Amino acid sequence: MFLPFARPWFLMLLVIPGWLLLRTWRRQESQVVLPFDHSRIASSRWLGWAINLAESVGPLLLGVVICLLSGPQQLGEPQSGRALTNIEFCVDISGSMTAPFGEGSRYDAAMAAINRFVDYRKGDAFGLTFFGNSVLHWVPLTSDVSAIKCAPPFMRPERNIPGFGGTEIARALIACKKVLAEREEGDRMIILVSDGLSADLFGDRSSEVAAELKAQRIVVYCIHISETVVPPDIVNVSRLTGGDVFGVDDPGALESVFEKIDQMQQTKLVQLAPDVLDDFRPYCLAGLSLVGLGTLCLFGVRYTPW
């Protein structure tokens, strides 16, 4: 339950200024009339009210101080924020990824498109996994994409890194599933970039892998960089998880694929709870006004018992 004060128990102290105000307006002290030659003694009710009002400034100022000590608060404006999407890039670095593709190799084009993709998906968490016959999680899921942008020179397929000469997509997808399953917040997505067949998806294995991924709410989008037909096992995994498959044979098509994935997996906005803010302004203005009024009253409008 929202309270307008952070420390509402301080408000009990308002009994003190309340008692002082009651005493000011109901006091019955005897008054002494001072005689002046040739003066006329007359009743002046309005002057008594003015004096009581002047005397009320002190208790009212004390009440404002107590309210400030109670920590007045207010709700800020409700805001919308983007829902986090955890995106794991799963990039093939087998020997076939060295094939010419545009001005570079298939690997060069894939990494360049990934770097552009992360630029216009700001706010999401990205991870980068390289695979062949083995799997290497190069960048953990993070919103800082600098490591992804610096990755291309280190894992080029031309380096013939031991254990990465072949293509085992099922192994790579299961490894990415373990990484994404640890993320409790946000949607989960794998973007698989490969150019060949994968023997470990033959038979019913593609359906089994898809079932494991779907159980973890992971959607797979596959980009097949090759002039050949997309292998049916890869199509099966993507479609069963709610994703899609794209076959590309030139750099322009590759760029369009990433844009299409961005449109298909659009950023979701969530309503954020409004922040609780301090609300000192009205009490400070009231206090300053009372201080100014009290200062003016000191020039003569004050109670004296004679």
Tell me the per-residue pLDDT of 78-116, one tens digit each, with 9 for 90 and over: 655 456 788 999 999 998 899 998 888 999 989 988 888
What pLDDT was estimated at residue 135? 94
Does 295 have pLDDT greater than 90?
no
Identity of the highest mean pLDDT range in 3-12, 27-36, 196-205, 260-269:
196-205
What pLDDT was estimated at residue 2? 47
State the pLDDT confidence band at 134, using cuts at 50, 70 and 90: very high
What pLDDT was estimated at residue 306? 47
Whole-model pTM?
0.61
What would the 3-class secondary structure string for the chain be? Answer: CCCCECCHHHHHHHHHHHHHHHHHHHCCCCCCCCCCCCCCCCCCHHHHHHHHHHHHHHHHHHHHHHHHHCCEEEECCCEEEECCEEEEEEEECCHHHHCEECCEEHHHHHHHHHHHHHHCCCCCEEEEEEECCCEEEEEEEECCCHHHHCCCCCCCHHHCCCCCCCCCHHHHHHHHHHHHHCCCCCEEEEEEEECCCCHHHCCCHHHHHHHHHHHCCEEEEEEEECCCCCCHHHHHHHHHCCCCEEEECCHHHHHHHHHHHHHHCCCCEEEECCCEEECCHHHHHHHHHHHHHHHHHCCCCCCCCC
Higher pLDDT, 144 or 1: 144
What pLDDT was estimated at residue 5? 82
Does 230 have pLDDT greater than 70?
yes
Question: How many other C-beta atoms lie within 10 A of the C-beta of residue 196?
Answer: 18
Does 127 have pLDDT greater than 90?
yes
Query: Measuring CA to CA, how many Å separate 265 from each of 87, 234, 244?
Result: 11, 19, 11
Distance, CA of 259 to CA of 241 (rounded, Å): 20
What pLDDT was estimated at residue 1? 41
The percentage of the chain sitting over the pLDDT mark of 70, rounded to a whole number, equals 84
- Among 12-26, 63-77, 132-146, 162-176, which stretch is predicted with the lowest mean pLDDT? 63-77
What pLDDT was estimated at residue 79? 57
Distance, CA of 277 to CA of 2 (rounded, Å): 12
State the pLDDT confidence band at 44, using cuts at 50, 70 and 90: low
Does 140 have pLDDT greater than 50?
yes
Average pLDDT over residues 259-282: 69
What pLDDT was estimated at residue 35? 55
Q: Which domains, from first to last, does the chain contain?
A: 8-33+41-76+274-297 (no CATH), 81-270 (3.40.50.410)
What pLDDT was estimated at residue 30? 47
Give me the residues paired with residue 272 across strands: 79
What pLDDT was estimated at residue 120? 76
- Among 9-18, 102-111, 270-279, which stretch is predicted with the lowest mean pLDDT? 270-279
What pLDDT was estimated at residue 42? 54
Average pLDDT over residues 189-206: 89
* Contact (Cβ atoms closer than 8 angstroms) between residue 280 and residue 4: no
Higher pLDDT, 139 or 33: 139
Average pLDDT over residues 8-17: 89
- In the sheet with 85-92, reading across from the earlier edge strand, the strands are 135-142, 125-131, 85-92, 187-194, 218-225, 245-248
